[in-house]
Amino acid sequence: DKDLILAIQIVPFDSTRKLLISRDITQLEKVQTVHRDFVANVSHELRTPLTVIGGFLETLLDLDEPAPGIVRKYMDLMLSQTKRMQRIVEDLLTLSRLENHQNSLRIEPINVPALLQSILSEAQGLSAGRHEVTLTIQTEHWVLGSRDELHSAFANLVSNAIRYTPEGGRITLSWRIEHRQGVFQVSDTGIGIEPQHIPRLTERFYRVDKGRARDTGGTGLGLAIVKHILLRHDAKLDITSTPGEGSHFTIYFPTESLTPSAQKNIAADA
Ligand code: ADP
């Protein structure tokens, strides 16, 4: 196996003999590489706005008596860079909380239709009339999970759909039961994604088009957060897309993640 990495150690066994110990550290090496990449990415993501802010501050200090209009313009630009750093740090904290509290998920019955109604209102606010945003509830069934986390996972997918769909596009949210699973789907008529990118979208800071993603206010951490949340709910994310036509992001909740009454109902229907 060309990817196998072994650590070899020679240790004394007795007065005359030595023992050769080899350990497979492939996994450890991989974890360390991921960690190194992550630190490099975080540093890079924060360095860019810091450089911009530093540049504006220097320019302002160099001006003897800057016109109020100029000061205001630079302040606005610095504020938007500061907000970007805040979003990155918030998302990093969310990710680290999700990773560190693996077992402390507070499970409660979640009224998905009601949750989606509030997500629909948020989405309409975010879109500000630029898209047609609709919600179809095909089942009233609930799931077991964490309200905050599911809200965050659904809202992330919806805000992506809005951010990657040009004005005049359609965003469709739906909740249904399919093959005894709870299915939440967000479809958009946006820019779409080339197939080779799809498997990597949930990696931290992975973006198809860095410039575009930044311009839309993205941190590159949204789908990584979604992935972690779904992992804790035994749910799965499926992504299908056609470049230039749009994308479907679908979450599947297994039967066991539905409330007991929903499970009973589905069993009776089957
Ligand atoms: P970002 O903050 O950059 O949006 P995400 O983790 O939420 O980060 O998404 C990762 C990348 O996946 C995005 O940068 C974008 O390239 C792509 N993406 C996510 N959702 C969509 C979508 N609905 N349509 C097209 N591309 C998308």
**For the chain, what is the radius of gyration of the CA atoms?**
24
Higher-confidence residue of 175 and 18: namely 175
What number of other Cβ atoms are within 10 A of residue 160's Cβ? Answer: 23
Site to probe by mutation for ligand 1, drawn from 201, 206, 240 as the one with most ligand atoms within 8 Å of Cβ, is 201
* Residue reference for tokens 């069934």: 141
- Which residues contact ligand 1 via a Cβ below 6 A? 160-161, 164, 188, 190-191, 193, 201, 206-209, 213, 218-224, 247
ipTM of the complex model: 0.98
Provide mean pLDDT across the span 170-196: 97
Higher-confidence residue of 22 and 192: namely 192
Site to probe by mutation for ligand 1, drawn from 89, 164, 185, 215 as the one with most ligand atoms within 8 Å of Cβ, is 164
Higher-confidence residue of 100 and 169: namely 169
The pLDDT of residue 66 is above 90: no
Q: How far is the CA of 207 from the centre of ligand 1 (A)?
A: 6
Longest dimension (CA), the chain: 84
Q: For 101-253, where are the alpha helices, taking DSSP H only? A: 112-127, 147-163, 210-215, 222-232
Provide mean pLDDT across the span 133-158: 96
Mean residue pLDDT of the chain comes to 92
pLDDT tier for residue 103 given thresholds of 50, 70 and 90: low
List, for residues 87-97, the tens digit of each pLDDT value: 999 999 999 98
Ligand 1 atom 19: residue of nearest CA: 160
Q: Ligand 1, residue 225: give the atom nearest the CA.
A: 6
Provide mean pLDDT across the span 249-261: 96
Rounded Cα distance between 174 and 155, Å, is 13
Report the interhelical angle of 68-100 vs 222-232 (nearest 10°): 20
pTM of the model: 0.87
Q: Ligand 1, residue 202: give the atom nearest the CA.
A: 6
Q: For 63-195, where are the alpha helices, taking DSSP H only? A: 68-100, 112-127, 147-163
Provide mean pLDDT across the span 154-158: 98
List, for residues 187-233, the tens digit of each pLDDT value: 999 999 999 999 999 999 999 988 777 778 889 999 999 999 999 99
Q: Ligand 1, residue 216: give the atom nearest the CA.
A: 4
Q: How far is the CA of 17 from the centre of ligand 1 (A)?
A: 58
Q: How far is the CA of 206 from the centre of ligand 1 (A)?
A: 8
Ligand 1 atom 25: residue of nearest CA: 192
The pLDDT of residue 102 is above 80: no
The pLDDT of residue 162 is above 60: yes
Q: What pLDDT, on a 0 to 100 scale, did the predictor assign at position 2?
A: 59
Higher-confidence residue of 102 and 166: namely 166
